[in-house]
Amino acid sequence: MPGAFYHQLAEGRFESSPLTAGPWSPDSQHAGPPSALLVRAMERFEQRPGTRLARVSVDVLGPVPVADLEIEVRTVRPGRSVELLEATASAGDRPVLVARGWRMRSTPGDFPVHGDHTGPEVPAAPRVRGAMMSFAHADGYLSVVDFSFDHGDGDALGPARAWGRSRLDLVDGESMTGWQHTILVADSASGISLATDPLTYPAINCDLVVSLHREPMPGWVHLDSETVGGPGGGVVTDTRLSDDRGRIGRSVQNLYGRRVG
């Protein structure tokens, strides 16, 4: 493993690696790694057996610099069966990312199975890294997160289906949980399913909402993504999420679309 996205300096304080940098600038982080850092904080906060994170919503308050981050967690709504947590990432004195997570009691062992749990076919051959936004800054996140496409590719416009995985740990010396890995990859859904030329009509997400009906496996995450938008409205990326065992849930991103030049 060639390192990690973050090095823990103290309780709640993390040094950011240059490998957190996103596709638009070497100075600003891809939202995936710091979102996963907030999930990590919520998973570790006042743990209670028999409960699980069910939904995490992340709001991007501004560019996240490749700099030290302070992470804080609090309970917004306490409860024995359902509680709402909030985690904030700050750079200096400025909050840059805030996440809210519903943590709830897991269903009982005899709860009925219903709905479609099937996922995409897991490739028999090794998944092969494909092209990914060749026009973008490639020395950060894009250099250490692999995308293997079933449909489309990282330089094409339109809906796409791809397996994604990080080759880095989130925090050095730790293995990522399934939730951390899923949200780190899911933030790329709008990138694999670009609907417009990003150099003329860029559309950048200001949030990420992930809902999972079961605990995901660490490792490859499958994104079945489509970005939809039009004049006088907005842009949304809708994604069905799966792992090697089948369907795990869905993510949605709202994007700010504009014209440059």
Is 145 in contact with 181 (CB distance < 8 Å)? no
pTM of the model: 0.95
Mean pLDDT across 72-78 = 98
- Number of helical H runs and strand E runs in the chain: 4, 14
Mean pLDDT across 238-245 = 97
Torsion sign (Cα): 167, 170, 172, 176? negative
Quick check: 1 pLDDT over 50?
no
Instruction: Give Cα 33 distance to the centre of its chain.
Output: 7
181 pLDDT tier (thresholds 50, 70, 90): very high
Quick check: 2 pLDDT over 70?
no
User: Per-residue pLDDT tens for 185-216?
Assistant: 999 999 999 989 888 998 999 999 999 999 99
The DSSP call for residue 65 is B
pLDDT averaged over the chain? Answer: 94
Q: How far apart are CA 35 and CA 87, in angstroms?
A: 10
Q: How far apart are CA 178 and CA 183, in angstroms?
A: 9
Report the candidate in 237, 211, 251, 222 with the shortest Cα–Cα distance to residue 159.
237
State the residue for tokens 């504009």.
258
Report the candidate in 100, 127, 69 with the shortest Cα–Cα distance to residue 244.
127
131 pLDDT tier (thresholds 50, 70, 90): confident
Give the CA distances from residue 72 to residues 13, 196, 214, 230, in Å, rounded to whole numbers and listed in that order: 9, 36, 26, 38
Quick check: 250 pLDDT over 70?
yes
Report the candidate in 150, 183, 199 with the shortest Cα–Cα distance to residue 42.
183
Give the CA distances from residue 174 to residues 1, 90, 169, 180, 212, in Å, rounded to whole numbers and listed in that order: 11, 22, 6, 12, 23
State the residue for tokens 């990080």.
166
Q: What are the two backbone dihedrals, phi and then psi, of residue 9, each rounded to the nearest 5 degrees?
A: -90, -35
Q: In this structure, which amino acid lies at residue 97?
A: L
* Domain topology for 6-107+129-257: Porin (2.40.160)
Mean pLDDT across 211-227 = 96
Quick check: 241 pLDDT over 80?
yes
State the residue for tokens 């790329």.
188
